[in-house]
């Protein structure tokens, strides 16, 4: 009789555990589909110059590279960072597009490419930006730097701070223009990082880099990125040239929903940097495709949580996930997840609880952390006791099974 009184509640708990465990069975992550035929991708084309890099903007996948981390002289590619600092200053409310800048003698005397501003005259921030971006004006770059930081040297410190926050570990700036200096250097990889950040954070301002010409002081100058005329999918970004750096080009193009970023450094002519960039872009778009798989905070799976205010917790990714793969191979993707077992509350929102694995054949395409999409607080004393008993049953059930 006593045994009956004891075992009846235990059977009820055991049955409750079985039903709950069934409810907590993880959902299978969406699979792309049935296998497709293998697809051969040729090697990346040979590219002239000292170094180059081709990456997918959305996934970060490297599609072609040569010496991407070698330190190089950036020449006027420096002005990508100058522009990045300027845009941040505008967005932070530290100045406006209509603000007038008094041109210093230093800015007026700058050698190299110019927008032809005059000493002592007032020029709007808007016009100076166009002079820097479209006409690659060294005078405009220095005028903006002095207006923002008081001097070009202090502005260079700002540039280096931003480079540090972006992870540009092979970069150091000494000026806002790219004029040669032994301590002024970057790499193809760092330039791709900077370009990605610029397009991601400031998509509206990025449109500045697609403008083909600008007239100031009665002088019309054309954008030196001739790909803007040659390839309608190209919408930026910046050329550079000095005798020591050679002819360089950072460019970006978007076809359908796929965007590529190309960095070509150290070619021997303005025509060659255009030809080599076009070769890289054509290769990337022809043989690869990009697929957005999951959005940030999208619920991908449910997991069991013990001793908490709720029993089921949704997990997903902290950021959007796209993959770049050879064309025709989407159906061959394999998506799996590994998740921590026997989770006990409390669990914080954003806490890493597992990993999403995406493979194509033997190649790991992506591995991203799965995180808690919400918090789970500790349950009541009674809830903890019940769950501890159920965990004991779970262990026993696993042992016997």
Catalytic residues, which ones? 76, 79, 136
**Is there a contact between 279 and 262 (Cβ–Cβ < 8 Å)?**
no
The Cα-based distances of 367 to 307, 317, 326, 355 in angstroms read: 30, 11, 18, 7
152 alpha carbon, distance to own chain's centre: 29
Query: Nearest CA to 253 among 222, 230, 273, 224?
Result: 230
* Residue 49: HSE in the Cβ half-sphere, 13 Å Cα cutoff: 35
* Residue 300 near residue 294, CB atoms below 8 Å: yes
Contact 299, 317 (CB under 8 A): no
Parallel, antiparallel, or unpaired for β 258-267 and 321-326?
A: unpaired
Longest dimension (CA), the chain: 105
Asked if residue 242 lies in contact with residue 73, where contact means CB atoms within 8 angstroms, the answer is: yes
Tokens (6 digits) for 106:
């230093």
Q: How far apart are CA 170 and CA 375, in angstroms?
A: 39
Rounded to whole angstroms, the Cα distance separating 74 from 369 reads 35
**Looking up tokens 């905070």, which residue turns up?**
297
Q: How far apart are CA 400 and CA 60, in angstroms?
A: 47
CB 18 within 8 A of CB 11: no
Length of the chain: 401
CB 148 within 8 A of CB 94: yes
Q: How far apart are CA 101 and CA 98, in angstroms?
A: 9
């Amino acid at each position: 009789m006593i045994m009956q009184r004891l075992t009846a509640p235990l059977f009820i708990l055991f049955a409750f555990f079985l039903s709950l465990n069934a409810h907590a069975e993880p959902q299978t992550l969406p699979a792309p589909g049935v296998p497709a035929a293998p697809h051969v991708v040729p090697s990346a084309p040979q590219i002239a110059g000292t170094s180059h890099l081709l990456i997918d903007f959305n996934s970060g996948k490297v599609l072609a590279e040569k010496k991407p981390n070698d330190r190089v002289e950036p020449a006027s590619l420096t002005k990508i960072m100058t522009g990045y600092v300027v845009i941040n200053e505008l967005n932070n409310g530290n100045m406006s597009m209509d603000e007038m800048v008094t041109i210093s003698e230093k800015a007026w005397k700058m050698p190299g490419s110019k927008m032809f501003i005059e000493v002592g005259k007032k020029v709007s921030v808007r016009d100076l930006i166009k002079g820097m971006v479209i006409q690659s004006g060294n005078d405009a770059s220095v005028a903006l730097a002095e207006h923002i930081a008081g001097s070009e040297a202090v502005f260079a410190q700002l540039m280096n701070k931003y480079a540090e926050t972006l992870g540009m570990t092979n970069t150091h700036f000494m000026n806002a223009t790219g004029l040669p200096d032994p301590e002024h250097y970057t790499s193809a990889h760092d330039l791709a990082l900077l370009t990605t950040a610029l397009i991601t954070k400031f998509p509206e301002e990025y449109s500045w880099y697609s403008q083909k010409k600008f007239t100031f002081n009665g002088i019309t100058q054309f954008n030196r990125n001739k790909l803007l005329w040659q390839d309608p999918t190209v919408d930026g970004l910046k050329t550079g040239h000095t005798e020591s750096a050679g002819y360089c080009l950072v460019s970006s193009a978007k076809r359908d929903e796929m965007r590529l970023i190309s960095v070509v450094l150290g070619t021997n002519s303005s025509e060659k940097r255009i030809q080599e960039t076009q070769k890289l872009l054509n290769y990337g778009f022809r043989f690869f495709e990009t697929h957005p798989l999951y959005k940030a905070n999208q619920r991908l799976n449910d997991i069991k949580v013990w001793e908490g205010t709720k029993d089921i917790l949704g997990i997903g990714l902290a950021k959007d996930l796209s993959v770049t793969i050879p064309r025709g191979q989407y159906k061959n993707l394999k998506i799996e997840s590994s998740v921590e077992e026997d989770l006990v509350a409390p669990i914080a929102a954003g806490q890493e609880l597992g990993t999403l694995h995406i493979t194509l054949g033997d190649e790991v395409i992506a591995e991203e952390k799965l995180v808690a999409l919400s918090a789970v607080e500790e349950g009541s004393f009674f809830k903890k006791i019940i769950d501890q008993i159920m965990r004991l049953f779970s262990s026993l059930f696993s042992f016997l099974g």
